[in-house]
Amino acid sequence: MIHITVYKNSEQEYTAFRCLGHAGYAPAGEDIVCAAVSALVINTINSIEMLVSDLFDLEMDSNSGQIDFSLQEGYSKESLLLIRSLVLGLQGIQKSYGNNYITITCKEV
């Protein structure tokens, strides 16, 4: 199962997320849930880096499927919008495929 934790600040802005695990929907290389989550997460990170140029911290481990992303201070509204878009896409995947393959939790930091 993929566990997504999205972190909100006191202004209710999404500023960080953690993605951990593998969906287990299908065998490796055929898992459309993993592929969809990966595409959304990597595209969000790449978009923030290439289009917005905000600074962030990133740690990845492909074996466990862990991705930890956190915006650094001074982030822009554009980065916040991109992360909100990520959450919207992840919620759509969860709605389509169910809680057996992906869970999303929001935490305030």
Domains, the chain, in order of start with CATH, read: 2-108 (3.30.70.1490)
Q: What is the pLDDT of residue 64?
A: 83
Q: What are phi and psi of 105, to 5 degrees?
A: -125, 140
Q: How far apart are CA 29 and CA 26, in angstroms?
A: 8
Total-model pTM: 0.94
Over the chain (109 residues), the average pLDDT of each successive run of 10 is 96 97 93 96 97 96 91 97 98 96 96
CB 75 within 8 A of CB 57: no
Q: What is the pLDDT of residue 62?
A: 82
What tokens appear for 8 in the block? Answer: 């909100």
